[in-house]
Amino acid sequence: MSLDLKILNGNIIDGTGNKAYVSDIGIKDGKIVEIGNLSSNLAKETINADGYIVTPGFIDLHTHYDGQISWDSELTPSSIHGVTTVVTGSCGVGFAPCKEKDREKLITLMEGVEDIPGSALSEGINWKWETFTEYMNAIDSIPHTIDFAMQMTHDPLRVYVMGDRAVANQKATEDDIKKMAKILREGLISGAVGFSTGRTDNHKSGRGEDTPAAEASVEELTGIVQAFKGINHGIIQAVSDFDMLKGDEFFDKEFDVLEKMALVSNKPLSISLMQRDQSPNQWQWIIKRAEEANSKGINIRLQVGARAIGVLLGLETTFQPFMGFPSYKKISNLPLEERVRIMKNPEFKEKLLKEKNEKLAGDGSHIPPLADILLSQLDIIGMRMFKLGEKPNYEPEIKDSIGYKAKQKGESIIGALYDALLEDEGKALIYFPLYNYTEFNLNNLYKMINHPLSLPGLSDGGAHVGTVCDASFPTFMLTHWCRDRKGDKFNLEKIIKNKLKT
Ligand SMILES: [Zn+2]
């Protein structure tokens, strides 16, 4: 038999948890047909994997490729990090079902929530669908280098059924709920792998509105998931900040809502887990409630990030420290080169640094209120901002921060942030870890990743293109967590079995 591909001398970690071993692999028609002594010397292609690890493809269960998947067959950057299956339709946002008149509405929503440029979506999406089944068929008709599984999403479903009433403060009627359940059921039967909903105050549409399903009642959520009755597959994914901004006393009430959805649907529920500064112990409560639910037979899984969830700041990204300062606002539309030239002028710098951030969030703005809170205290958050550089360190110590270094030298922190932005001709990036970094290390994240109920799942592949790129999480899990990290590490066999090959 002649093979299509031979992979020789690789250090094979097969995903079973067994110890790595050096061997050869023969592939024919897209399948592994031999491991060990290959029966044939003939192969169309040979890869010498001496000194490399060879693993199964990885699954990224939380992405936002819903638009990109309709025009990009390669689904980069996920595919270049060893991901062979992406799950789309996360957090309640997506593009189907959708009536013609609502297309712009869904684009504005995705633009605001996931920071995907509306212009790219408008130009890229061909809208060869109205129903979810038509959407899946349209995507299926385009060849893709990797596999994908699609969840149906709450916001488009709500807009499809409720039209202009699909705004956060409007309750769905009994009839609306029945219709949404019926449409979800049709989607599930056609092959949707689940249903997702978004309940966070940090997600805003491109016009600054709450997402349509953000305040959905327990009746609506439990009513919609009736759709799963008698269907043998499917999961539910939800993102919530557990009403943290309203106060920690709301935590259990919100968890109850999510748990009820899992109970009624009798399907696994997957929710986000992270440490948030505003409520630093919340992650432990989430774990505790998930453990309790599982002991009652309610299957709840926790999606964790591979590193701190943060933003990259720079003159070419969506956010940067001075974006709300009046002098900067005046030049914000100029080409990069021009802005850098003006900002290098000492008089401009002096004037700008005396100013204050003007409010960016609010009516008509997709910028979350958290941004204004942060930008009004640059002197403090500068202690948690780091130069990213060519070789990023995603677990830096406080002494590495721009703010700390400036303080040590007796210099102004905001002046140092300003100068950092201008490095590399204005192309330099500042790393600002927002979540999972309350204590300036990833020790708590280690505990989260190590938890038996957790799965890596917050890559947000395809989204937040102007702020972050965590689609590289499989590579980061292998390099940082299994090789480079100082402190607790994982072993490759375990991380590949339990965390990357779900
Ligand atoms: Zn998401």
pLDDT digits (tens, 9 = 90+) for 446-493: 999 999 999 987 888 776 666 777 889 999 999 999 999 999 999 999
The Å distance, Cα 218 to ligand 1 centre, comes to: 21
The Å distance, Cα 214 to ligand 1 centre, comes to: 14
Q: In whole angstroms, what is the distance from residue 96 CA to residue 134 CA?
A: 9
The Å distance, Cα 69 to ligand 1 centre, comes to: 16
Same domain, yes or no: 351 and 465: no
The Å distance, Cα 174 to ligand 1 centre, comes to: 28
The Å distance, Cα 63 to ligand 1 centre, comes to: 6
The Å distance, Cα 80 to ligand 1 centre, comes to: 20
Q: In whole angstroms, what is the distance from residue 104 CA to residue 153 CA?
A: 17
Q: In whole angstroms, what is the distance from residue 373 CA to residue 384 CA?
A: 15
Q: What is the mean pLDDT of residues 191-200?
A: 95
Share of the chain above pLDDT 90, in %: 74
Q: What is the CA radius of gyration of the chain?
A: 24
CATH code (residue 40): 2.30.40.10
Q: Is the pLDDT of residue 411 over 60?
A: yes
The Å distance, Cα 477 to ligand 1 centre, comes to: 19
Ion ligand 1: residue ranges with CB closer than 5 A: 90-91, 460
The Å distance, Cα 364 to ligand 1 centre, comes to: 22
pLDDT given at position 394? 95
The Å distance, Cα 469 to ligand 1 centre, comes to: 12
Q: What is the mean pLDDT of residues 302-327?
A: 93
The Å distance, Cα 179 to ligand 1 centre, comes to: 25
Q: In whole angstroms, what is the distance from residue 241 CA to residue 235 CA?
A: 20
251 φ, ψ (degrees, to nearest 5): -55, -55
Are 91 and 198 in contact by the 8 Å Cβ rule? The answer is yes
Same domain, yes or no: 317 and 302: no
**Residues 6+ positions from 434 with CB-CB distance below 8 Å:** 277, 308, 309, 310, 311
Number of C-beta neighbours around residue 433 at 10 A: 20
The Å distance, Cα 116 to ligand 1 centre, comes to: 12
Same domain, yes or no: 318 and 299: no
Same domain, yes or no: 23 and 104: no
Which domain covers residue 49, as residue numbers?
A: 3-54
**Residues 6+ positions from 336 with CB-CB distance below 8 Å:** 315, 316, 425, 426, 427
Same domain, yes or no: 95 and 230: yes
Number of C-beta neighbours around residue 117 at 10 A: 16
Same domain, yes or no: 221 and 368: no
Number of C-beta neighbours around residue 389 at 10 A: 12
pLDDT given at position 5? 95
Same domain, yes or no: 425 and 468: no
Number of C-beta neighbours around residue 178 at 10 A: 15
The Å distance, Cα 171 to ligand 1 centre, comes to: 24
The Å distance, Cα 383 to ligand 1 centre, comes to: 27
pLDDT given at position 248? 86
The Å distance, Cα 210 to ligand 1 centre, comes to: 15
The Å distance, Cα 212 to ligand 1 centre, comes to: 15
The Å distance, Cα 481 to ligand 1 centre, comes to: 23
The Å distance, Cα 239 to ligand 1 centre, comes to: 7
The Å distance, Cα 62 to ligand 1 centre, comes to: 6
Q: Is 29 exposed, middle or buried (0-12, 13-18, 19+ CB in 10 A)?
A: exposed
The Å distance, Cα 417 to ligand 1 centre, comes to: 29
The Å distance, Cα 283 to ligand 1 centre, comes to: 18
The Å distance, Cα 160 to ligand 1 centre, comes to: 21
pLDDT given at position 500? 65
* Token reading at 355: 């100013």
Identify which of 169, 277, 280, 184 has the alpha carbon closest to the alpha carbon of residue 228. 184
The Å distance, Cα 92 to ligand 1 centre, comes to: 8
The Å distance, Cα 149 to ligand 1 centre, comes to: 15
Boundary (domain end) residue, out of 390, 407, 435? 435
The Å distance, Cα 237 to ligand 1 centre, comes to: 10
| H or E segment and range at residue 186 | helix 174-190
Helix, strand, coil percent values for the chain (each to nearest 5): 40, 20, 40
Same domain, yes or no: 131 and 76: yes
The Å distance, Cα 279 to ligand 1 centre, comes to: 20
The Å distance, Cα 184 to ligand 1 centre, comes to: 20
Q: Is the pLDDT of residue 406 over 90?
A: yes
Are 339 and 320 in contact by the 8 Å Cβ rule? The answer is no
Counted domains in the chain: 3
Rounded to 5°, angle at Cα 246 from 244 and 251: 50
The Å distance, Cα 398 to ligand 1 centre, comes to: 28
Under the banding of pLDDT at 50, 70 and 90, the label for residue 501 is low
Q: In whole angstroms, what is the distance from residue 215 CA to residue 212 CA?
A: 8
Under the banding of pLDDT at 50, 70 and 90, the label for residue 502 is very low
Same domain, yes or no: 423 and 487: no
Residue 353's Cβ-side half-sphere holds a number of Cα atoms within 13 Å equal to 17
Boundary (domain end) residue, out of 435, 460, 491? 435
Q: Is the pLDDT of residue 203 over 80?
A: no
Share of the chain above pLDDT 70, in %: 97
Same domain, yes or no: 414 and 472: no
The Å distance, Cα 421 to ligand 1 centre, comes to: 28
Q: Across all residues in the chain, what is the average pLDDT?
A: 91
Same domain, yes or no: 157 and 84: yes
Same domain, yes or no: 285 and 329: no
For residue range 260-274, list pLDDT tens digits in order: 999 999 999 999 999
CATH code (residue 273): 3.20.20.140
**Residues 6+ positions from 465 with CB-CB distance below 8 Å:** 115, 116, 117
Q: Is the pLDDT of residue 204 over 80?
A: no
Identify which of 54, 15, 69, 103 has the alpha carbon closest to the alpha carbon of residue 461. 69
Q: Which residue has the tokens 């024919």?
A: 28
The Å distance, Cα 335 to ligand 1 centre, comes to: 31
The Å distance, Cα 460 to ligand 1 centre, comes to: 5
The Å distance, Cα 337 to ligand 1 centre, comes to: 33
